[in-house]
Chains A and B, each alone.
Chain A
Amino acid sequence: MANEYTRENLEGMNLKELRRLCVDNLGLPGLTKKRKDVVIDAILLADGNPDVSDKLEGIAFDGHSVMTKPSAAFGQKTTTTIRVSCGASTGAFPVEGKSVAEVGEFLREVLNVDKLSTGLVNGKEVSGDYELKVGDSLEFMKPSGRKGC
């Protein structure tokens, strides 16, 4: 079936017309309070138009930010977190800018980090005063299991 709608045509319509199109013609609910570009994307998606699927592909969530304050102003809704692990214990924590030593102390009980444990960032040993950046992954070394026989 040929696509009935194009982005150009839809952008020529006002928001009221677009919303009516969604409800009356396409049976798309939940768009009455959405922005125009969001409504246009939804119409094109429902129409199977490659124009929107191309646009949506390639949007990757890199997992470094967490929505912690959904009601805050735009640009202040998320908190950047860094993955910290020790053995099989792991979590994402808001420790950007903190040193490895500070994080080890802060998470000692949570992740069972040994006081003498070496810190590795992105797989490489670092000193305790290394300051964590967005995209870093921190591991505190856990001793190897001894038993097995």
Chain B
Amino acid sequence: MKKISIKIIGLGGVGSVLCGRIARFLNYAKDIDSTLTLVDGDTYETKNYERQEFTQMGNKAEIKAGDIEDQFPRLNLDFFPSYINDANITNVILNGDIVFLCVDNHKTRMITSNYCKNLNNVTLISGGNEFTDGNVQLYVREGGKDLTPDLCAYHPEIADPVDKLPEEMSCEELAQSDPQLYFVNVWVATLMCGVFYNVVISNKIEASEIYFDMKQMSVIAQSRALK
């Protein structure tokens, strides 16, 4: 029986879609004993119905955990109703975890990637998008060594982010949001599921980054050298 601990950080457009897919897979995977922890400090509101999958208003981690528990009773579930930051990340991500990072700011990506560099074993699958395109990055550490580049290695915009953590933003800043397409969020979530299956279930690292473009209908996987 394979034992895995999964953390899904961010339960918005990408995370709320991803969560249901991963939960369904794990619930019916007879040879996997899994724990699923959902992490988000944000709240579901009426305006989120357009792109995000949830059943009622409230803290995203708590609501989504309840939804998953009702639908997939075989899973061991937990939730953490706060945004990730430097202070609490040590309580959230543990050695050996598989982490899905579905956030909307590079500062959280940078904090998470840098923290993971201190763990002996971790699989970090991070997804993000713009209006019609996006990418998924894979960072794997095993036995204290990088198997793939970390999120910052080839992305200076993540290594040195100009954006802020959600808890650092003013109400006005939080109210502003760039438009997104539901279908593009679904592309990101689906590719993250595919990466999870390849790496965790099939033990294959095919690429460290995957780009997609919904307008061009193209997907490109890239492997890069460790720095």
Q: How far is the CA of A144 from the CA of B157 in the complex (A)?
A: 8
Contacting chain B: which of A29-37, A66-74, A94-102, A118-126?
A: A118-126
**Interface contact B129-A118, CB-CB below 8 Å:** no
In the complex, chain A residues whose CB is within 8 Å of the CB of B112? none
A94 to B23, CA, bound (A): 47
B134 at the interface (CB under 8 A from A): yes
Kindly state the separation between the CA atoms of A148 and B103 in the bound complex, as whole angstroms.
6
Q: Give the Cβ gap from B37 to chain A, nearest Cβ, in Å.
A: 18
Interface residue from B14, B212, B224 paired with A148 (Cβ < 8 Å): B14
- Interface check A133, CB cutoff 8 A: no
**Shortest beta-carbon contacts, A-B, top 9:** A149-B12, A145-B128, A149-B104, A145-B134, A88-B213, A148-B14, A145-B129, A88-B211, A87-B211
- B35 within 8 Å of A (CB atoms): no
Q: Does B220 contact A (CB under 8 A)?
A: yes
With a cutoff of 8 Å between Cβ atoms, the chain A residues found around residue B129 in the complex are 145, 147-148
Stretch among A5-13, A15-23, A38-46, A135-143 lining the B interface: A135-143
The A72-86 residues at the B interface (CB cut-off 8 A) are: 85
Say if the beta carbon of B163 comes within 8 Å of chain A: yes
- Bound-state CA distance A149–B109 (Å) is 13
> What is the minimal beta-carbon distance from A146 to any residue of chain B, in angstroms?
6
Once A88-B219, A120-B154, A139-B222 are accepted as A-B contacts, the answer to whether A146 and B130 lie under 8 Å apart by CB is: yes
Give the docked Cα–Cα distance between A124 and B104 (Å).
28
